[in-house]
Structure 1
Amino acid sequence: MNYFGKLSIIVAASILLGVAFNVFLLPHEVLTGGVTGIAMIFGLLTPVNSGIWIIVLNIPIIILGWMKLGKEFIMNSIISVAVTAVSMLYIPIVSLTEDALLSSVFGGVITGVGIGLIIRNYSSTGGFDVVSLILIKKWDMPLGGLIFVLNSIVVVISGFFFGWELAMYTMLSIYITGIVIDRIHTRHVKLNLMVVTNKGEEVRQAFLDNLVRGVTIIDGQGAFSREEKKVLFSVITRYELAVIRAVLADKDPDAFVSISQSMQVMGNFRKDD
């Protein structure tokens, strides 16, 4: 996807976040997590809109991300934060339902979809998203789970200010958001890839040209045909599966392919791609 296509998704997902916050979560004082959740607390306790607080609180984290994650990522993140803040300024705070539990569930799902799409397109919503993305470069774990752990501080804060019942709604919303993020942001999911092909050299070169992964080549032989074949083995992320499909459709559509999820990867596996 070209840059403008990704940017369009980032903008649309950021507006979706504004809808989730102002239509589902804020009307019931149910918060989202991290810096955005803290901004929502300040917005509820002060006359300053939560969108303004989002910008103010994200400034130091954006600077940290600039140093650790690169200019393009942070520029995309600034756009996402700005669009979310503006959408919260102009989308009215209205409640579609009086049921706080229902709003927590739907708000959590919509927030997870928005954040997942934003992160998948090389951006973030600022705040703990940036911190989590820096940490998973060192710790190979699900992004949504790490965000949930970091965001739990918001639950404690909201409990003191708005009561523990609303804090539990907030915990539910954050938990659902983390689950949805991990369904969309699947970079942490590792796959074992085995390809049996008659065109070993062409497939090998295509893999090396299109992936950042190492590939192990094993000489094989068909048990029935006795035909010599090449067996290529690698470990990829789920994001890269689409690349693999395109390469094999082009180089050897008749190749035998086996893909399974890997429980754990040890050794020199690149995580910061």
Structure 2
Amino acid sequence: MRHSKTYNFFSEFSQITFGIVLASIGLKAFLLPNGFLDGGVTGMALLVNNLFGINISLSLIIFSLPFLVLGYYTVSKRIVIKSILSILGFASLIHFGDYGTITDDNLLISIFGGLCLGAGIGIAIRNGSVLDGSEILGIYLNDKFGLSIGKVILMFNIILFSITAMVVSLEVALYSILTYIVTAKVTDLTIEGFEDFIGVTIVSNDYAKIKNAIMMELGVGLTTYKGSKGFGSTGAQQDFDIIHTIINRIDIKKMHRIIEDIDENAFIVEFDVNNVKGGVLRHYLDKKKGKTLGRI
């Protein structure tokens, strides 16, 4: 147990360190030399540096303090401590790091700067740390007033980019918005993973045939649970199995064809799945050997 905790500790901080390095490359090698901004606290620090020449590392730490205080009351102390260390490390790399200027092309700056920054932020968040405190503000206002976290962060950045357009230039603001979009998308992909899963619930009289066909042809695990129908106009109750499974979205059309070939009147419910852990989801069936999979 002690060995496992030690391994997890070093694994978390190794990944956070890697995320900090990636984020600092995005800033120092792409955004900062060309005067572009990102969203959130990082964008505020960049804007203040652009307008007044104040050190970015110092601004990043100062602007992060109120959000860390909020975080103390809205998230765990462990996350706040890791976030303090991460922000200090991030600020240090921004101050002392020297990666040179990779490109002067505005479009490449926005895309690859946002990519590095988003990947770094995402890796840090996956390991329980924050490099940008605007998410903590969203959590606080959501708990206090019921406001959507996404909308809070969006409004925060709308104000930031509007100020940029007025006091710097519209072009810089537009490229900064593009950078923010790339950063946000890459952050989400890094946190949630690149595979896109979908949950499927199937109700059919031919549940046994559908269950076997899904396991044999798609090679995914599934769960069945007892159900009964006939509570509508017919009044005749009938017991049957309800099928529940999770598949990669790329296989959904194939699943539709499998079900329609057996029962074209089957009732199918589909829903998005943000995270999957454990089970046999990633274990695919060896069709030649006819190996049977277990349940999810």
Instruction: Tell me if TM exceeds 0.5.
Output: yes
1:192 and 2:199 matched: yes
- 1:78/1:126 contact within 8 Å kept: no
Q: Which residue of 1 aligns with 2:29?
A: 23
Query: Could you tell me how far 1:244 is from its partner in structure 2?
Result: 3.0
Separation in 2 of the partners of 1:8 and 1:147?
A: 28
Q: Which residue of 2 aligns with 1:57?
A: 63
**Cα RMSD over matched residues?**
3.8
Q: Out of 179, 202, 225, which is 1:218 matched to?
A: 225
- 1:27/1:93 contact within 8 Å kept: no
State the Cα deviation string for residues 227-273 of structure 1 (Å, max 9, x = none): x989678999533x232338999xxx72255xxxxxxxxxxxxxxxx
Q: Out of 54, 69, 72, which is 1:48 matched to?
A: 54
- 2:111/2:179 contact within 8 Å kept: yes
State the Cα deviation string for residues 90-110 of structure 1 (Å, max 9, x = none): 113732111122111111111
1:170 and 2:176 matched: yes
1:254 and 2:293 matched: yes
- 1:248/1:255 contact within 8 Å kept: no
Query: Could you tell me how far 1:2 is from its partner in structure 2?
Result: 1.2
Q: Which residue of 1 aligns with 2:251?
A: none
| Residues 75, 247 of structure 1: alpha-carbon distance in 2 compared, 3 angstrom cutoff | farther
Residue identity matched to 2:69: I
Number of residue-to-residue matches in the alignment: 228
- 2:29/2:102 contact within 8 Å kept: yes
State the Cα deviation string for residues 3-24 of structure 1 (Å, max 9, x = none): 2211111111012111110110
Separation in 2 of the partners of 1:178 and 1:54?
A: 19
State the Cα deviation string for residues 138-169 of structure 1 (Å, max 9, x = none): 979796x8644532222112222321101100
Residue identity matched to 1:82: L
Bigger-Rg structure (1/2): 2
Q: Out of 2, 8, 12, which is 1:6 matched to?
A: 12
| Residues 142, 231 of structure 1: alpha-carbon distance in 2 compared, 3 angstrom cutoff | farther
Q: Which residue of 2 aligns with 1:199?
A: none
Q: Which residue of 2 aligns with 1:245?
A: 280
- 2:24/2:94 contact within 8 Å kept: yes
Separation in 1 of the partners of 2:67 and 2:279?
A: 35
Residue identity matched to 2:158: S
State the Cα deviation string for residues 41-76 of structure 1 (Å, max 9, x = none): 222333432011100111111010011101111111
Q: Which residue of 2 aligns with 1:158?
A: 164
Separation in 1 of the partners of 2:13 and 2:272?
A: 26
Residue identity matched to 1:238: N
1:122 and 2:157 matched: no
Residue identity matched to 1:53: S
- 2:280/2:295 contact within 8 Å kept: no
TM-score normalised by structure 1 residue count: 0.69
**Which SS does the other structure have where 1:219 is aligned?**
strand
| Residues 170, 247 of structure 1: alpha-carbon distance in 2 compared, 3 angstrom cutoff | closer
Separation in 2 of the partners of 1:137 and 1:219?
A: 38
Separation in 1 of the partners of 2:201 and 2:56?
A: 50
Separation in 1 of the partners of 2:27 and 2:130?
A: 16
Query: Could you tell me how far 1:119 is from its partner in structure 2?
Result: 1.2
State the Cα deviation string for residues 205-231 of structure 1 (Å, max 9, x = none): xxxxxxxxxxx97337xxxxxxx9896
Q: Which residue of 2 aligns with 1:180?
A: 186
- 1:35/1:57 contact within 8 Å kept: yes
Q: Structure 2: which 5+ runs fail to align?
A: 1-6, 208-222, 228-239, 247-270, 285-291
Query: Could you tell me how far 1:129 is from its partner in structure 2?
Result: 2.4
| Residues 134, 120 of structure 1: alpha-carbon distance in 2 compared, 3 angstrom cutoff | farther
| Residues 152, 93 of structure 1: alpha-carbon distance in 2 compared, 3 angstrom cutoff | farther
- 2:40/2:132 contact within 8 Å kept: no
